Structure 1
């Protein structure tokens, strides 16, 4: 599938500032300023200066929160985003509600306790981010994530992503019936997206961080069969 750019000049802008460059700028800036985030339920809140707010927005991390403060900008990070910045990019420190810093292991277990699907969703999220794709929630489309080649203001999302964990009936049950598959594919087609299923395989290792190495991600795209496109040429 070719990228569907939004407006004239969008492709040129994306090529001039690739997502890898924008993320690297955010990473460097957060490390220099020793930025901290605050655990708040199932998210992490980060207060930053205007310069950092622009970097968060350009690299597509978190959602801005409107406040009355003029000198501070607040961003709300999902657990997958926050852990990616903390553990993989190592540019964000996170403190708990007791104001004590949390190491990666403590964060991993905390987030697992708050969200049972966190390990598989994090592996899916990091899978895309390592490829410099932008990942957003896909709830409005009935999927787990939607994936963009670059900033959503420049390009339409290409993939509607379902995350399935092998051996987990709660996630695999969504595509167990043909009617579910058919409805999901039709929905994705109506919004010009390809359904991408990420199967997360894991072994029995539960010790952090070794458990991260035990996960593997398998990609499968599912599309509707078109008789016109697959008919043999009879002459």
Structure 2
């Protein structure tokens, strides 16, 4: 017969408040289900032992011939001052970001979220923005690390106390057995607390307890200050505000933000709120969208974005020359001849190479590299690889004269200190360093055939791992 189990009794302080539920995350799988801004007609598979599959394939091809998928073409303009491409249409901004993570917000770190942040600041939006979610996750991780460090410090202190007590008593048996044979109530409670599993819940409870103590201490100090405050004389002058000023209340969570009154919030329409942010594309991203996918039309000024005629947009050949000229700082003259080792030619070759392999490529300037490679995108996981581009002159053309040898040697020069610093940074941020050598061909006579031009470039990849003597002794 089963015996009833007695309920565990404990102090009232052990009762923990229920954890507040986290807000649901957006369904990124549904939002970013298309890897590129291209409409693709899906063809059903052919099953050899099922003749009906041939009928489904034939119907699919017939549907494609009758109503082929329409390719959406987006518009942008080239800004010569920043040497970048700007997309101002909100629908185009959402499409280019959601399908391939192209560009970055001009007023945001990555995703164009300035409008949501501004609505949140003005009281028009109740949800949490992506920046707020990131800040919340970082705060939770910081609290967890502080709580873990505090528990580890407490465990070390108790360990040292137990060892000192064992030395004073002259116990010859091991410390673990002595601790098990003669435990005290205090050490038992502390040891149980140290062996307790670290969790974010305990860190939040500790923080709430500290805030509660701080509020109580502040309330006590305020009460003592009111009691000790001397009475003011009747001769002192007093200032009285008008009833209109007294009725106005301003609630602020930070010195730079004010919450709008309810009457003003009601008059503002969230749909009519202007969006002052645009999507900023790099030259490599814009040329990939315009030339490889045909999903982008680039104009030379923002005033021509509303034109419907496709002849007003910049051609791919002119766009390539313009990007090559603006790959230098300051930009070269338009009459200057193009070289096969222009920075844009080298960087776009690597960009096109990894994009064709299915990687999501972002700028790696914050880690001291050229590119970052994501498996699916920045909203799913961190970048796995960091790419550094180095031009290589293996073609016999570059070694024919002494002048060309000196030129190529200067272009390829990299110091050991540079490689060590880049590798050290990537090891610190848990990324693998990939060195891409781009074999530069001899100068081409014409730029009309862009496919044949980039077909002469070759990319060689090398994965470099930092050697740590303490971990790789064997």
**TM-score between the two structures when normalised by the length of structure 1:** 0.79
In 2, distance between residues paired with 1:122 and 1:18?
Answer: 27
Q: Which residue of 1 aligns with 2:88?
A: 47
How far is 1:170 from its partner? 6.0
Measure, in 2, the Cα distance between the counterparts of 1:211 and 1:62: 26
Structure (1 or 2) with the greater strand fraction: 1
Distance 1:169 1:38, change over 3 A: farther
User: 1:88 deviation in Å?
Assistant: 0.5
Q: Deviations over 1:199-226 (max 9, x none)?
A: 1112114232132111111101111234
Do the aligned residues in 1 keep the contact of 2:72 with 2:295 (CA within 8 Å)?
no
Match of 2:279 among 60, 75, 79: 75
Q: Structure 2 residue aligned with 1:122, among 348, 366, 371?
A: 348
Please, what is the CA RMSD of the aligned residues? Answer: 2.9
Per the alignment, residue 383 of structure 2 pairs with 157
Note the alpha carbon deviations across 1:54-101, whole angstroms, 9 max, x for none: 332222101123588747973111000000000001111111138431
Mapping for residues 176-191 of structure 1, pairs under 5 Å: 176-191=414-429
Normalised TM-score (structure 2): 0.41
Write the distance in 1 (CA, Å) between the matches of 2:31 and 2:437.
28
Structure 2 residue aligned with 1:7? none
Alignment counterpart, residue 39 of structure 2, candidates 22, 28, 36: 28
Match of 2:432 among 191, 194, 210: 194
Conserved 8 A contact 1:22-1:55: no
Conservation of the 8 A alpha-carbon contact between 2:433 and 2:463? yes
Cα distance change of structure 1 residues 230 and 33 upon mapping to structure 2, 3 Å threshold = closer
Q: In the alignment, what sits opposite 2:455? A: 213
Structure 1 unaligned regions, length at least 5: 1-9
Partner of 2:373: 147
- In structure 2, the partner of 1:96 is 300
Q: Would you tell me which structure has more helix in proportion to its own residues?
A: 2
CA contact (8 A) 1:18 1:150 kept: no
Distance 1:105 1:89, change over 3 A: same
Measured after TM superposition, the shift of residue 141 of structure 1 is 0.8
**Cα separation, 1, equivalents of 2:276 and 2:35:** 21
Aligned length: 214
Which of 291, 295, 299 aligns to 1:87? It is 291
C-alpha distance 194-33 of structure 1, shift in aligned 2 (>3 A)? closer
How far is 1:228 from its partner? 6.6
**Which residue of structure 1 aligns with residue 331 of structure 2?**
none
The answer for the alignment partner of 2:102 in structure 1 is 61
Give the secondary structure class of the aligned counterpart of 1:28: coil
Q: Secondary structure at the match of 2:467?
A: coil
Greater Cα offset, 53-62 or 143-152: 53-62
Asked which structure has the greater CA Rg, the reply is 2
